[in-house]
């Protein structure tokens, strides 16, 4: 068996953002040498990893040359050069998640076709190579308002997603490959994180419920456990497992879903990495999602995914109207509350809606935790 701990083994990570920073807590715990590739010298991981390399994640040579210096390669963001990963894999480098999966997940269009081909329920959709094709369909009443528009590639945190209600909304869209989806009435937005290692061992985290900011389309609160019926939770976990198994996925996969008014579960999209919906697990779970990601990609036994207590995560994002050197206003007040733990991501400059950190609230009672989360959200401000 490969010795990963206190050895010459080098784990490579593409991306040096906050997800990488939280992963480093676990690699340091296990004394695993970790190399990071990121385009920004001021990336959150830059000062705390073993080796930091500056390079564009979409540049073939940067990714390929970085891959030649490590023993196993993983990602903290899916916006990477897949052609370089294909070549590295052909040459024998172990890469998890596998490049074939990243290629599907990079494209919302490929994702939707994958769900359709594998009988995984998802919102009805149409795929357009050009915006003009979509405009033609609307003008000829093939598609009716309102609908959800998504850029086919590289959308995140509400970027590349828009509800199109009229022709003015339509003509303002970027002229890129896209998909449209039916606007589905839903009760809840849910997520399930599944881990799977190369031995085929699989572990599923509890279903979480997500509450979104109405304007920024970013998650404001993640609530674990989701306040839903057991039968719906079971259906959501089974759906997430089906996605992982159909992909033959290795690593950590976050599956975002809709619970419809009739309690159907529809897959929205997936992320092939640690995810905002799993941050609560650092304080609330027996095994955090970041430790589990390591266990999965290193083919180690997977950890217990049960929660010790209820957990709620509040995103800390830059307040509207503030840009510049960051100040966390009233952080001392939230630190006085039992069960509250802030995580600051190491980004020195704030701007409106930029993810700057999160706060976890743990409590035996999920409803009490939600009340405290509301107080935290109303108290702490990320300003300049």
Q: SS3 for 313?
A: strand
Q: Which of 313, 322, 348 is CA-nearest to residue 218?
A: 313
Residue 128, number of CB atoms within 10 A of its CB: 20
Using the Cα atoms of residue 173, residue 174, residue 179 and residue 184 in order, give the sign of their dihedral: negative
Within 8 A by CB and 6+ apart from 142, the residues are none
CA distance 258 to 209: 10
DSSP 53-86: EE--TT-HHHHHHHHTT-SEEEESSS-S-HHHHH
Q: What angle do CA 331, 332, 335 make, to 5 degrees?
A: 90
Q: Which secondary-structure segment (H or E) carries 90?
A: helix 82-90
276 phi and psi angles, rounded to 5 deg: -50, -35
Using the Cα atoms of residue 41, residue 19, residue 283 and residue 293 in order, give the sign of their dihedral: negative
290 phi and psi angles, rounded to 5 deg: -75, -45
CA distance 228 to 270: 21
Instruction: Provide the annotated binding site.
Output: 108, 150, 181-184, 189, 268-269
363 phi and psi angles, rounded to 5 deg: -165, 150
**Encoded tokens for 71:** 């023993």
**Total residues belonging to the chain:** 384
Instruction: Provide the annotated binding site for ATP.
Output: 108, 150, 181-184, 189, 268-269
Q: SS3 for 292?
A: helix
CA distance 120 to 181: 15
**Dihedral angle at the C-alpha atoms of 251, 254, 259, 264, nearest 10 degrees?**
-20
């Amino acid at each position: 068996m490969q010795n990963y701990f206190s050895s010459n083994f080098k784990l490579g990570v593409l991306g040096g953002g906050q997800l990488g920073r939280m992963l480093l807590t676990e690699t340091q715990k296990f004394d695993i040498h970790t190399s990071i590739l990121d385009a920004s010298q001021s990336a959150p991981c830059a000062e705390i990893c073993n080796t930091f390399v500056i390079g564009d994640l979409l540049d073939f040579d940067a990714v390929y040359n970085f891959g030649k210096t490590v023993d196993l390669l993983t990602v903290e963001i899916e916006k990477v050069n897949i052609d370089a990963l294909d070549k590295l894999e052909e040459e024998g480098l172990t890469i998890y998640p596998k490049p074939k999966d990243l290629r599907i997940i990079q494209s919302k269009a490929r994702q939707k076709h994958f769900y359709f081909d594998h009988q995984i329920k998802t919102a009805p959709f149409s795929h357009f190579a050009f915006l003009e094709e979509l405009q033609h369909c609307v003008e000829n009443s093939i598609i009716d308002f309102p609908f959800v528009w998504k850029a086919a590639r590289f959308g995140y945190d509400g970027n590349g997603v828009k509800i199109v209600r009229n022709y003015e909304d339509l003509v303002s869209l970027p002229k890129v490959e896209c998909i449209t989806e039916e606007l589905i009435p839903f009760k809840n937005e849910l997520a399930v994180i599944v881990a799977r290692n190369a031995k085929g061992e699989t572990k599923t985290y509890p279903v979480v419920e997500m509450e979104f900011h109405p304007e920024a389309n970013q998650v404001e609160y993640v609530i674990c456990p989701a306040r839903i019926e057991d039968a719906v939770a079971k259906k959501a976990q089974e759906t997430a497992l089906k996605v992982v198994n159909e992909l033959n996925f290795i690593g950590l996969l976050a599956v975002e879903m809709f619970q419809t008014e009739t309690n159907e579960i529809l897959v929205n999209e997936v992320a092939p990495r640690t995810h905002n919906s799993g941050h609560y697990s650092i304080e609330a779970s027996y095994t955090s999602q970041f430790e589990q990601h390591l266990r999965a990609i290193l083919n180690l036994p997977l950890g217990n995914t049960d929660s010790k207590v209820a957990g709620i995560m509040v995103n800390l994002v830059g307040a509207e109207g503030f840009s510049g050197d960051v100040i966390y206003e009233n952080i001392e007040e939230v630190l006085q509350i039992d069960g509250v733990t802030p995580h600051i991501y190491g980004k020195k400059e704030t701007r409106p809606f930029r993810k700057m950190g999160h706060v976890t609230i743990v409590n035996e009672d999920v409803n009490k935790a939600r009340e405290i989360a509301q107080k935290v959200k109303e108290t702490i401000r990320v300003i300049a």
